[in-house]
Structure 1
Amino acid sequence: MEVSYREEGVASAASSVAGRLVADGVPARLAGGDPTLWGEDAEAEAAVRLGWLTLPRSSRELLPELGNLADKARAEGLSNVVVAGMGGSSLAAEVICNTADVPLTVLDTSDPAQVRRALTDRLDATVVVVASKSGSTVETDCHLRIYERLFAETGLDPAERIVVVTDPGSPLEQLAIDDGYQTVLSMPDVGGRYSALSAFGLVPAALAGVDVERLLDDAEAVLPLLSRERGNPGLDLGAALGGAALGGRDKLLLEDQLSPLVGLSDWIEQLVAESTGKQGRGILPVVGADPNRTGDELVVAIASDDGDVRVDGPLGAQFLVWEYAVAVAGLLLEINPFDQPNVAESKENTAALLALPDLPTGAPAFVDGPVEVYGAATATDLPGLFDELLRAIPADGYLSIMAYLDRLAAFDAPVPEGADFEQMTDAWMMADPATLRALLALRTDRPVTFGWGPRFLHSTGQYHKGGPQNGVFLQITGAVAEDVAVPGRPYSLGRLQLAQALGDLGALETRGRPAVRLHLTDRAAGVAHLLTAAQEA
């Protein structure tokens, strides 16, 4: 595992703060799990959130159980592995399986169409990993209820098809006991976003056919380095992140186009944003963007020469080193890297909205084709609105696009008969809401981020509300053509999804963040219209 500085300014800033960290004994104290590092206010939280430091060894106790689970699934022909979990409960498993090139369906959404895709995919060969640390995550509760009923209705025993991963004592553990579900308990002293090498990352990966022992081997190999004052990749990376941010370079561009670690940047995005975005400060991770070479950017490359910092190493080691580095960055920024004080606010807003007879969507400011525009906008069409939003970005700010839609819908786009792969890719891109990020990024030197809702609420959502007051927000929702009922709940997935969007919008507006909601009355036509307008503006 190696972290190398490739830009003199980064090296200088990192060296300065690293000297201070070493003088304070931070490497050995952090490696030893000292909860006093982040100050009195954070000590109680840190004391029960440092178990990730020993996961490369302690998670080995799970290996026999994981082997039995995988053997049983194979013997019963359960080859379609679905993980139902949000944020830290699914992101690591997704990266592990993508990197190993084994299939895994990730349900981290409340979108009815995306959930319906999973429900209709090889149900007779499906095993569902229901993953929630708290045991009360609303999206995961919905997925569990839906699958329970579907299995029962089709004559399949849910107890043979559902595996629960949760913390000891959670409501989900009790439910699993009552219903006879196979259960794997995680370490309670590991926070969700630091849980990559725990049962949350390992159970779905093992069921999908990944060699998880190799993952732990690679992580354990780097453990002895983390107490060193020199040659410590976690300290080197943390000093670079924190030192750069203290010097004003607080926009972290993650470059991974050539990396064999597929999707690692998405996992890093949550780790960095949710750990550092609080108390009006933080580091903004930007995924999938080209550098603008502005003074507030730090480009970190995963196995590439295109960054100010290069990080090389196998996936298991990367997980551990990034976790250590973000803990160090939190220390330098004088924040608690283990809490997420603003995440609950959007959840509470959503619950309050769901209790109302009707969701308060309000009246649109204007309508442009299949797109309704809600919010304080002076523009009268979409090209004008995009101009207005881009002009509203502060000199040190960013634009965030948040799409509460089916993130797989673009693959339904029609492609020309006999099209080659490049033509198919073009067709998919022009049906993908994420393309809007690239189109708007061409017209500004400020970072433009993109997140799928409600997935990002368990990730960058903390930074949006707790970080610096310099974000501009563009939210996209869509009409639901075919909803999915949630057994035992007074709402459907479509109602939940819209309530989550409105709840988060309310949290942003309460803080005075400029925010606009675009509602697509026809999803496919609406996305095409947005992309056309972005090119016309």
Structure 2
Amino acid sequence: MTASVTIGNERLAEQAAEAVKDLVAAGFHEALSNGDPGLWGPDAQAEAAVRLGWLDLPRNSRELLPEIGKLVERARAQGLDHVVLAGMGGSSLAPEVITTTADVPLTVLDTTDPGQVRRALADRLERTIVVVASKSGGTVETDSHRRIYEQAFREAGIDPAERIIVVTDPGSPLEQAAIEAGYPVILADPNVGGRYSALSAFGLVPSALAGADIEKLLDDAEAVRPLLAQAEGNPGLTLGAALGAAAAAGRDKLVLEDSLAEINGLPDWIEQLIAESTGKQGRGILPVVGADPDDTDDELVAGIESGGDVTVSGPLGAQFLIWEYATAVAGRVLGIDPFNQPNVAESKENTAKILDRAEPPVGTPVLVDGPVEVYGEVPGSSAPKDLPEVLTRLLEAIPERGYLAVMAYLDREAAFDAPHAEGASFEEMTDAWSAADPATLRGLLAVRTDRPVTFGWGPRFLHSTGQYHKGGPQNGVFLQLTGANEADVEVPGKPYTLGRLQLAQALGDLGALADRGRPVVRLHLTDRAAGVARLLEAAREV
């Protein structure tokens, strides 16, 4: 299947053509294909010099196939059919897309929610194999998952060295810890940033263990690779020029549409790639996932195999490479470094400080509406009387060309535990799940404003849109959701539990957002199920 990018908007086609003309005149397409790190200016050159390895992954990653194949054979021989991936950001989003599209099961742990982790631990531990994936080797969430699974295996009489595989960069602390523990280690290309790592060991190892055809993924990417050196018929150049030119002209909200695609979940991966790569220096492109277009003048609709202002067609491996190339192009057009993430560390540093305190600084609620406590400075000159008024004021506070971000530090699978009648149809079960799902809030609020409403699961989004929230245009309004934990999970060898870490991450990010003077409100669910029900009820009353 060939890959292509088509532009269905006449004005955008003109803007993109002009941008492509300038890029080609500067020799950008050839220079990028050859891995020139100087394309984004002198300030970005040092970072880019060690971040362009993704261009050659369709070929270079083939060297990993024999080693990965042996791991897969060993797991099959041992009957290990429950594959758990402990990873964040680029280490989890690409494998999730690959395995969902291939319709093979993969349990992704990109959370610090105790309930979600307990659910994974309770699922076929005797047949579980865990991939611990961290580029830096120091990711706090992934380190916590590793420690928890090591203890669980030992308590079950299972040698962790038989069940844990590590994917990391050469020389990372995780590599050393894995060697000492006797874990198999697959080293990734150190010249590839996390969000560009879909076709590296981070994307391939867990996907192969789950049963996906990773060789075909590389074949499809390699087939499109020669096109990315061309001046004409270059899908990455066309897409990147369109994204960059549109954003430069004010159309910086990218609505991602994939309802007709056989690829499942690609917008979530694109969201991380584009938001974290472009959201800095007060500029950037805000991806909006799962939303209907509002036809506003700052909106651009990109369709995966479907119509829009821009349509991107092609198999998954090609899509990965095209979007990565396009993001690098858009960075050039917008005048930003697409490979750094200067604001990501803020929330991490705040989290560490909070964990060092005897008690987390939760503050005093300004309002209690049943099972929902409201914290923070609610926009307006008087105290809100109830939760619908809080939501109303947040929507009213969204500035022109701004957006609302809903950030949920909750269990993203808990809705599937919602009760339903015995013998219920799939539609009835879906309705029950939706009524218990915090993510339903996005759609309920979106129909009450013409501004974009995004939704992110914490702390997962901190490795994605979190950079955009802090480094991009300062026109966001933020609604954070946290919840009480019925049962917590100890992190072996650490002085905190998962629940304490989850709350510290929420409060740490809240502080980073509040420091920018943007409206940010935290809703704490003292009873999670009842709290979600009240929250969705309140949104319908707005």
TM-score range relative to shorter protein = over 0.9
Which digits, 9 at most, give the CA deviation of each residue in 1:250-285, with x for residues without a partner? 000000112111010000000000000000000000
2:487 alignment partner in structure 1: 482
For 1:334, give the aligned amino acid. Answer: G
Cα distance between partner residues in 2 of 1:174 and 1:386 = 48
In structure 2, C-alpha distance between the alignment counterparts of 1:411 and 1:79, rounded to whole Å: 22
What is the aligned partner in structure 2 of residue 408 from structure 1? 413
- Following TM superposition, by how much is the alpha carbon of 1:444 offset from its aligned partner in structure 2, in angstroms? 0.3
CA distance in 1, matches of 2:385, 2:12: 44
1:20-39 matched pairs, under 5 angstroms: 20-39=22-41
1:470 and 2:471 aligned:
no
Q: Distance in 2 between matches of 1:118 and 1:416?
A: 25
Q: Cα distance, 1:12 vs. partner? A: 1.1
C-alpha displacement of 1:211? 1.1
1:18 aligned to which of 7, 17, 20: 20
1:324 counterpart residue number = 325
Q: SS of the residue aligned with 2:39?
A: coil
Partner of 2:444: 439
Letter in structure 1 aligned against 2:333: L
Q: Share of identical aligned residues, percent? A: 72
Aligned residue number for residue 502 of structure 2: 497
Of stretches 524-533 and 416-425 in structure 1, the one that deviates more from structure 2 is: 416-425
C-alpha displacement of 1:135: 0.1
Moved more, 10-19 or 435-444: 10-19
SS, match of residue 38 in structure 2: coil
Query: Counterparts in 2 of 1:306-325, with a 5 A limit?
Result: 307-325=308-326
The aligned runs of 1:307-456 (5 Å cut-off) are 307-377=308-378, 378-456=383-461
The 3-state SS of whatever aligns with 1:372 is strand
How far off its partner does 1:323 sit? 0.2
Whole-Å separation in 1 of the counterparts to 2:275 and 2:377: 27
Q: Corresponding residue for 1:527? A: 532
User: What are the within-5 Å matches in structure 2 for residues 96-111 of structure 1?
Assistant: 96-111=98-113
The alignment of Structure 1 onto Structure 2 pairs a total of residues equal to 536
Match of 2:80 in 1: 78
> Given residue 510 of structure 2, which amino acid in structure 1 is its aligned partner?
L
Pairing partner for 1:124 from 126, 129, 132: 126
Compute the displacement of 1:423 (Å).
1.1
Q: CA deviation at 1:297?
A: 0.3
AA aligned opposite 1:338: F
Q: Please give the secondary structure, in 2, of the residue aligned with 1:37.
A: helix
Name 1:271's counterpart in structure 2: 273
Equivalent in the alignment of 2:212: 210
- The answer for the alignment partner of 2:61 in structure 1 is 59
1:416, distance to aligned residue in structure 2 (A): 2.2
* Distance across 2 between alignment mates of 1:427 and 1:209: 31
Q: Distance in 2 between matches of 1:278 and 1:462?
A: 7
1:267-315 superposed Cα distances (whole Å, 9 cap, x missing partner): 000000000000000000000000000000000000112x111100000
Query: TM-score with structure 2 length normalisation?
Result: 0.98
Separation (CA, whole Å) in 2 of partners of 1:370 and 1:90:
33
Letter paired with 2:339: F
Partners of 1:256 and 1:41 in 2: CA distance? 36
Query: Which ranges of 4 or more aligned residues in structure 1 deviate by more than 2 Å?
Result: none
**In 2, Cα distance between equivalents of 1:257 and 1:343:** 31
Distance 2:304 2:377 in 1: 40
Once the two structures are superposed, what CA deviation does each residue of 1:440-496 show, in whole Å capped at 9, x if it has no partner?
000000000000000000000000000001000000000010000000000000000
Range with bigger deviation, 418-427 or 400-409 = 418-427
**For the residues of structure 2 that align with 1:154 and 1:413, how far apart are their CA atoms?**
30
> Once the 2 structures are TM-superposed, how far is the Cα of residue 380 of structure 1 from its aligned partner?
2.0
Q: Which residue matches 2:245?
A: 243
1:508 aligned to 2:513? yes
Deviation per residue, 1:43-79 (Å, 9 max, x gap): 0000000000000000000010011010000000011
Q: Which residue of 2 aligns with 1:221?
A: 223
2-structure distance, mates of 1:112, 1:417: 28
For residues 141 and 383 of structure 1, the distance between their equivalents in structure 2, rounded to whole angstroms, comes to 39
Once the 2 structures are TM-superposed, how far is the Cα of residue 9 of structure 1 from its aligned partner? 1.6
CA distance in 2, matches of 1:258, 1:155: 47
CA distance in 1, matches of 2:152, 2:259: 39
Residue 417 of structure 1 and its aligned partner are, at CA, apart by 2.7
Structure 1 residues 146-175: Cα deviation after superposition (integer angstroms, max 9, x where no partner): 000010011001000000000000000000
The SS at the match of 1:487 is: coil
RMSD: 0.5
Q: Deviations over 1:315-349 (max 9, x none)?
A: 00000000000000000110000000100110000
Aligned mates of 1:339, 1:261 — CA distance in 2: 28
Counterpart selection for 1:460 from 446, 459, 465? 465
**Displacement, 1:421?**
1.0
Distance 2:444 2:333 in 1: 35
CA distance in 1, matches of 2:174, 2:325: 29
